[in-house]
Amino acid sequence: MSSTPHDNDVILGRGRLISAHPGNVRFRHLVSQKREMYSQSRDNKFKRSVALSIVEEIESLDPPGRFLISQTGIKFAGIKEGVWVCVEKEKAIEKVLHRLREKNLGNCMKENGVQQESSGAKEGQSMLVSQNNSSANKNQVDGRSVATGDWHQLVIQSQIEQNTDLNCHSDNTSHLQANDYVSMPFEVGRSSETKVIQGSTRDDNGSGSCRINLSKTSKEYMVNFGRLMQSEPLVQSSNQCIKFDDVTNALISSHFDDEYDLIDPNILTLQQWIDESKPSDKSALPVYIRSAILIALKLTERLIFAGQSAGENPDANNRIPIAVIDARNVLVTVASEDLPTGSQITEEFNWDMSESSTELNKQEKEGSIVRKCILRVEFSPIVEINCVPDTTMSRLAALGCILYELVSIGERLSLHSISKEAFSLNAIQLNNDGNSDDGSELIEQRSKKSTPRPVDDRYSHLTMKLASIGIPHRLIDMVENLLNCSQGEFSGDYAYKSLDEVMVDLELMLNDPSRFLNSTSISDNLDLAISDELYGREKEIRKLRDVCERCLEGKSCGALILGEGGVGKSTLAMCTKLFTHDANGYFVSGKFDRNSTRPFMAIGDVFNSICDSFASDIQSPEQERTMAEALSRSLGNDACLLLDIVSNLSKLLPLHASCESSSVDAASRTRYLLLTLLDTLSKFSKPIIIFLDDLHWIDPASLSFCNALLQHTKNNKNLCFVFCSRYIEEKTADNINVNDWLQSLSESTLETIHLTNLNPEEVNRLVSGSLRTSPRLTRSLSTVLHSKSLGNPFFLRQTMEVLCKEGYFHFSLIERKWKWDLDEILDLRLDDNVVALLTRQMSKLPEDLLIGLKAASCIGNFIPYSIVGILSKHLGLDLDAIFRSLVQRSYLTDNDSTRFRFAHDRIHQAAYTMMSKKQQRDDHMKIGLAICRYVLEYNENDYDMMFIGVNQLNQGGPDALSDERQHFTIAQLNLKAGQRALALTDFPSAFSFFDHGIKFLRPDYWKIHYQLSLTLFSAAVESACALSDATHVTSFTEVVLKHSQCLEDRLAVLYFAVKSLKKAKRLLACRDGILRVLEQMGEDTFNVLATPPAEDIHNTNDLLTSTMTDDFFIHMCQCSQKSFIFLMRFYHELVYVYYVIDPTRIFGISLRMVVLTFQNGLTDTSSLAFAYYGMEVTAKGNLMIGNRLGTIALRLSENSKYISNVIAVVKQYISWVSEPFHAIAESNLVGFHAGNRIGDEFSSSLNYYLHTTTCFLCGKNLSVLKEVCSAEIVRLIENKHKWFVPSFSMLYWVIAELIDGSDFQSTNHNPLIPCEQSIVTIPANAMHGSLELFLDICKLMRSLFFRRDMDKCVSVLDRIMAACQLRPLTIIGVFFEGLISFEMARKASDSMKWISNGEIALTFMKKWESSKWNFENKIKLLEAERMRSLGFFDLATKLYQEAILSSEKHKFVHEHAISLEMQGLFFVSRKFNDDAKISLEKSVKFHKTWGANAVAKRIETYVTKHLTNGNSTES
């Protein structure tokens, strides 16, 4: 928001106008007051508090002071007319800290022997504008006062613009016309001494006077001096004459930060600066040269600035006239004559960004070379110059003369002397308008030629002098090209055309001297070194740095860099490596490969690098022990399961070989363990930046992990992710479109950075840097290269390499620069894409290199060292030498210590496309056979090598085999590779291996290789089921059913077929399929489901109530019979189906599972059998048997993959009878974590839902629960696990209303959370039975809490009492219905019906009165309500109090609040208003403690309305 500055504001910016602003004056005064306090402290926190106190003091002014910065820049019009905005407070504090540090410069200068000027000396340092010192008129100029006027008023009023008098004596007037001269004695002082400027214009008598040519433009330029001084009157010197120093300083300060206006400057003429900075020997020359370039750059900037202010009008006041552009008019302001390198001010003005020689750096560090800090450089119109025509070319030539004097170390060169002949010739030629061969046409023709051509060597004697001094060739060329501008339009193609071109070249010399300044050896330039810098990406680099900083603040997850191939995505991403170094963190990277050689290769690389980095940083055994303990706590015994993916984990945690562990979903388990590992490591403070490249080649398993990774680490301040990808049209193996995934990813969690091709100017910068030539000279060439490469950086670099190799670029040994023939390049037919260009270049390689390159392209982007020797033997070539030769030619890299890799995926693509499809298949097969023979002969357990070999065989395909006998072997290898991929939880890769194995089988495979065929198809169905690929599950199952020899062989595929139906939520089809299989296995499903045999019930219960210990059941023998194992699994799946569609059938199924277990022994599902049956008998009231079954189930599940499922069933459906709700909630949280560990996402989410609802029933804080619900809903939706989204959402809206009241839906909520209306309108046939019951219980709760629509509530009593499964939520539903029933009995006409309903609820509750912790207070409150409704008030009074005490004792804060409210309303009905008010006010207190602010507000309103004025109406 823009603001207008007022006098209390502090303006951030440059110039005397800003420096003189009242707020800035006050600011400097405050800084000076607190400087000593700041400088004396060594505590950074205290120093910051000093700065903060200054900011707060300014903000406390009236009106409050602000720190403002301009958005438009300040012109001469003044501060008020700009657009100003407030800076952030943190930036203001940094500004103050900077100023506090900076103002110690005075002390620093004293310590270095620099004396400061006294005020008296300053007054004496003036340039006197006077023709005599007549005291009679010392205060008058043209009859007007000087003391009170400023320079602008002085010049205007003295009638210089009207070519009239400049009066300094009333009796002696000199008429000054244009081109007249004024004799001006002057002195420029430093410290306490006075030195007279030495120059060619000094009078012979040594008086020190000079002559100023007051031409019209010069006089206007002098008028402009005054305009820069509008905010401050000039101070007069002791002899009452105007101080010319003030004029000069005013002009100088208008272009520099007001940060330095308190620095004690030394103002030198250019000749004085040269004399004092002259290098003593050649070792000091580089420092002098760079200082000279800096002065030239500042002069060029000043000329450009003045020209921009003047616009196109050469007569404008701001334009510096040609008469002034001379070395004798240059003033250099330095901070000190002997300020050593490393002091604060030199660090502030550290413009030298080059890498100097070792000796030079050493001398600077030792202090033998002293760097003078150049603060300002300016033109001052104090010297007579014979003018030449004021054109752009003449101004460039004048600048060249100044630069020559600088680099020649003081040799004077006159612009007039080099321009006289040139400009007379130009006048003749330019007047010949009728000649068709005029100069402009000649220049146009020349511009179309090849390398630019210079004019004659008229300045060779000057350049030879510079070369003899040791001036770099490129700087000599600049001087010569500037001097050539004196020839006007015949100045040659190398000559400069504008000051902007000069400034660009000077900046390049300063910022990149190794390319654009320093003379390099010939050997360095014989080969073209294409610049690998990022050009045109400054904005993207800044954004990437900002993203990394926000990540470390917890405000972002990272960045997604998108762009076409070759635009520099990976190079840009590698910038984060520097950011990581700045943050003292870790940078790790992985790269996805289209032909990935092993599952989770890129993810494994990342985690191995992280573990390796942490291991390298461990400094002591104590640190090592701390790290190992943290990992052991978080990963437990499952840590060894990660060794196959993260082998370097053993460096942090001592581990043995991978252990066996069952899981419901191995992929989910692996994701959980990897995320837990990353969480644990990231807690050790150092930030970690993870870079994953080529995301467009990501495999489905890695894609799933990356999804979970980003969701899991959203708020982790120590993690930042950078992904690179280009868009492709292909789809991944599991039919996920990568483009769609990238788009959804960028919108939700990552900040997108789009990279496009370079524009012509950016291409020119790249070409200029590569050819080490000024951008102005490469622009034509760059335009051609841009048109041919379309600005694609990789294509451009490859094109330049081709041009160099083919001789279109050549290095001139004489001129020591690159040259080219633009006409030949224009006529050259180049390839229109980079792959074709690379292919053409590769075709010229020697035959052995080409064979090696093709072989490498078949393997993939990575070529492990381990297979190089194997292939060398097979191909009869030394591939190691070949690959290293390809590294030298930049086709491959070997930066990794374990593998070669292609330098760019386009190179890989080009090498691969050089082969025909048949040749590709044949080479894949040959490579695969060679690798697999080695694996089978030497190391069958080398799975990494096996993955590479089998992948090669599969890319070759069955048609590439010439030996039929090899089909069986390759199918077996695919089976082994697939089984290994399953163990690594990479189901897509596993399915691919199994599918390829099937394809290698011959048509009669079922007859010849029955067992191999059955195993391959069964494994393919399992992996397809894990991928939810119903199509392949169905097709492969049909094949097995057709060819299998017995039912037992079919059981595996049938089991995964029904699981696939369950995952697709085709529950009826799933039920029918299971029942068919069970009937085929001889099960009497009708009796199991409808009428379980009474004998089975009796025998089972007798066995469970016998004297046999729990250990007897736990240590029953394990059954290994395949058919029985699958029989129990089918029954387990049937329980799930009937829990959704008809829970009454679960009793018979669970009983049958327990009976089968007693008859045949234990299986992996036996723990579930005991848990399900315990759930059923508990609901029927047999608490002892139910509790024992629950205990047995938990003990059996300790090492089972069903532990999370068992915990959910036992704790919610059995243990609530004997354990407090609070303990059950914590047990469900344990079940949640256990489910994550074994990959059981459904049971894990179920446990978390049960934990959250039970916490709600225990009276946990509502605000906390609301956040928990919101986060879990978002997590479930983003991970596409929507099982419990409706239940969580309904609980969320109930909590929201309890907190916010009737307006709860109008407050801010996460848009991902389904609205309440969408939940309650779910069709009955699509709604889970338990969800419908939960919705009705929520209505009961809200009706009671808000005392509304009690008569409209749907009864839940009948459904709950008839239910086969009971849990805390359903019991609480009965409790709330009982309270509402007794409330309605006192209000409705049919009171006896409501009392009866309430008594039924009370009777049901009393069935569980043995659990006093959970139910005592609830039963007491229901009995109190019943006694009140029946009129037994004394007994009701006692029961209310007992209910209150019991709820407080058992920590049910919300039920404590409900009991107090009920008691208060009871007192109101009895007209005990004082007691009622006390109870209701306590109820308000406990409702607020719970977080139910809306309920508390309702009760407060009731108290105010009915009890404040003595009313006693019950509402």
Do 1458 and 1479 form a contact (C-beta atoms < 8 A)? no
Please tell me the distance from the alpha carbon of residue 85 to that of residue 69, in angstroms, as a whole number.
6
pLDDT value of position 744: 66
pLDDT band at 205 (very low <50, low <70, confident <90, very high): very low
Strand 817-820 and strand 688-693: the pairing is unpaired
Tokens found for residue 925 = 């097969």
Residue 302, pLDDT > 50, answer yes
Long-range contacts of 1270-1273 (CB under 8 A, 24+ apart): 1270/1309, 1270/1310, 1270/1313, 1272/1248, 1273/1310, 1273/1312, 1273/1313, 1273/1314
pLDDT value of position 1378: 93
pLDDT band at 670 (very low <50, low <70, confident <90, very high): confident
pLDDT value of position 739: 66
Which residues on neighbouring strands pair with residue 1178, listed in sequence order? none
Query: Tokens 């008691």 belong to which residue?
Result: 1463
Question: How big is the CA angle at 941 (ends 936 and 947), to the nearest 5 degrees?
Answer: 80
pLDDT value of position 1366: 86
Residue 385, pLDDT > 90, answer no
Please tell me the distance from the alpha carbon of residue 862 to that of residue 880, in angstroms, as a whole number.
14
Q: Give the residue-averaged pLDDT of 1215-1226.
A: 91
Q: Give the residue-averaged pLDDT of 604-624.
A: 88
Residues 344-384 pLDDT 10s: 333 333 333 333 334 444 444 444 444 457 777 888 776 65
Lowest mean pLDDT among 778-787, 1191-1200, 1235-1244, 1319-1328: 1319-1328
The phi and psi torsions of 335 (rounded to 5 degrees) equal: -75, -30
Q: Give the residue-averaged pLDDT of 656-671.
A: 66
Q: Give the residue-averaged pLDDT of 308-323.
A: 62
Closest CA to 905 of 1063, 685, 694, 1114: 694
pLDDT band at 333 (very low <50, low <70, confident <90, very high): confident
Tell me how far CA of residue 1003 lies from CA of 963, 968, 999, 1455, in angstroms. 15, 12, 10, 73
Per the model's pLDDT, the better-predicted residue between 834 and 967 turns out to be: 967
Helices (H), 618-759: 621-635, 666-682, 700-712, 738-748
Please tell me the distance from the alpha carbon of residue 712 to that of residue 672, in angstroms, as a whole number.
10
Question: What whole-number percentage of the chain has pLDDT above 70?
Answer: 77
Strand 180-185 and strand 2-3: the pairing is unpaired
pLDDT band at 133 (very low <50, low <70, confident <90, very high): very low
Enumerate residues 6+ apart whose C-beta is below 8 A from 523.
none
Q: What is the mean pLDDT of the chain?
A: 77
Exposed / middle / buried, residue 1228 (Cβ in 10 Å: 0-12, 13-18, 19+): buried
Q: Give the residue-averaged pLDDT of 1372-1387.
A: 92
Strand 688-693 and strand 374-379: the pairing is unpaired
CA 400 to chain CA mean position, Å: 48
Residue 1226, pLDDT > 90, answer yes
Please tell me the distance from the alpha carbon of residue 1028 to that of residue 1051, in angstroms, as a whole number.
19
Q: Give the residue-averaged pLDDT of 295-311.
A: 80
Tokens found for residue 581 = 């170094």
pLDDT value of position 658: 52
Residue 1105, pLDDT > 70, answer yes
pTM confidence score: 0.66
CA 121 to chain CA mean position, Å: 57
Selection from 203-212, 515-524, 1124-1133 with the highest mean pLDDT: 1124-1133
Strand 140-141 and strand 144-145: the pairing is antiparallel
pLDDT value of position 654: 83
Q: Give the residue-averaged pLDDT of 318-336.
A: 81
Tell me how far CA of residue 1439 lies from CA of 739, 1392, 1398, 1423, 1458, in angstroms. 67, 21, 16, 7, 14
DSSP H or E run through 481: helix 473-483
558: left (phi over 0), alpha (psi -120 to 50) or beta: left
pLDDT value of position 664: 64
Residue 1463, pLDDT > 90, answer yes
Residue 1330, pLDDT > 70, answer yes
Tokens found for residue 643 = 């060794």
Long-range contacts of 152-157 (CB under 8 A, 24+ apart): 152/223, 152/226, 152/227, 152/229, 152/230, 153/226, 154/226, 154/242, 155/219, 155/222, 155/223, 155/225, 155/226, 156/223, 156/226
Residues 1383-1393 pLDDT 10s: 999 888 888 89
Per the model's pLDDT, the better-predicted residue between 1104 and 353 turns out to be: 1104
Tell me how far CA of residue 1072 lies from CA of 578, 716, 1034, 1058, 1077, in angstroms. 61, 47, 16, 9, 9
Please tell me the distance from the alpha carbon of residue 787 to that of residue 548, in angstroms, as a whole number.
35
Tell me how far CA of residue 1029 lies from CA of 700, 707, 731, 1034, 1060, in angstroms. 13, 20, 15, 9, 8
Do 1286 and 1334 form a contact (C-beta atoms < 8 A)? no
The phi and psi torsions of 812 (rounded to 5 degrees) equal: -80, 115
pLDDT value of position 817: 81
Question: 561 by DSSP, 3-state: which?
Answer: strand
Please tell me the distance from the alpha carbon of residue 701 to that of residue 721, in angstroms, as a whole number.
18
Closest CA to 691 of 794, 566, 575, 601: 575
pLDDT band at 1133 (very low <50, low <70, confident <90, very high): very high
**Angle between helices 917-938 and 847-859 in degrees, nearest 10:** 70
Please tell me the distance from the alpha carbon of residue 581 to that of residue 577, in angstroms, as a whole number.
6
